[in-house]
Chains A and B, each alone.
Chain A
Amino acid sequence: MHNRLRVLRAERGWSQGEVALRLGGVSRQAINAIETGKHDPSLDLAFRLAALFDLRVEEVFDPALAARGLEPRR
Chain B
Amino acid sequence: MTATPFTRTTLVRMAVAVAAGFGSGVLVAKLANAVGLRKAQMRLSDDLALVTGAVLVAAATYFLVLSFDRRRLARAIECDPALPASDDEAAQARLQAGVLLLAGLLMPLPVLAGPAARGDPTVGALALGACLVGLGLQSVLNWRLWNRSDEVLRGLVVKAAAASFWIGQIGLYAIAAAVRLAGLAEPGAFDLLVATLILYLAASAVIAIRLRGRG
Residues of A within 8 A of B (CB): 15-17, 25-30, 32-33, 36-39, 41-42, 45
Contacts and interface: CB of A to CB of B under 8 A. Distances in A.
A29 B215 contact: no
B122 interface: no
Contact of B80 (A16, A25, A42): A16
A33 B80 contact: no
Given A37-B214, A37-B215, A38-B214, A29 B80 contact: no
Nearest to B156: A39
Nearest to B80: A16
B215 A36 contact: yes
Interface of A is mostly: loop
Interface residues of B, number: 16
A25 to B, nearest CB: 7
Contacts, number: 50
Given A16-B79, A38-B215, A39-B155, A26 B86 contact: no
Contacts of B153: 27, 29
Contact of A29 (B83, B152, B155, B214): B152
Contacts of B214: 36-38
Contacts of A26: 150-151
Interface of B: 77-80, 83, 86, 89, 150-153, 155, 211-212, 214-215
B86 A33 contact: no
A38 B211 contact: yes
A39 B83 contact: no
For the complex of A and B, 9 pairs with smallest distance between CB atoms: A36-B215, A30-B152, A37-B215, A38-B215, A38-B214, A26-B150, A29-B77, A30-B150, A27-B150
B152 A33 contact: yes
A25 B212 CA distance: 22
A28 B79 contact: yes
Contacts of A42: 151
B83 A33 contact: no
Contacts of A32: 78-80
A63 B193 CA distance: 41
B136 to A, nearest CB: 27
Contacts of B77: 27, 29
A25 B77 CA distance: 17
Given A29-B77, A36-B215, A41 B151 contact: yes
A25 B153 CA distance: 12
Given A17-B83, A29-B77, A33-B152, 7 more contacts: A16-B79, A17-B86, A27-B150, A38-B211, A38-B215, A39-B152, A39-B155
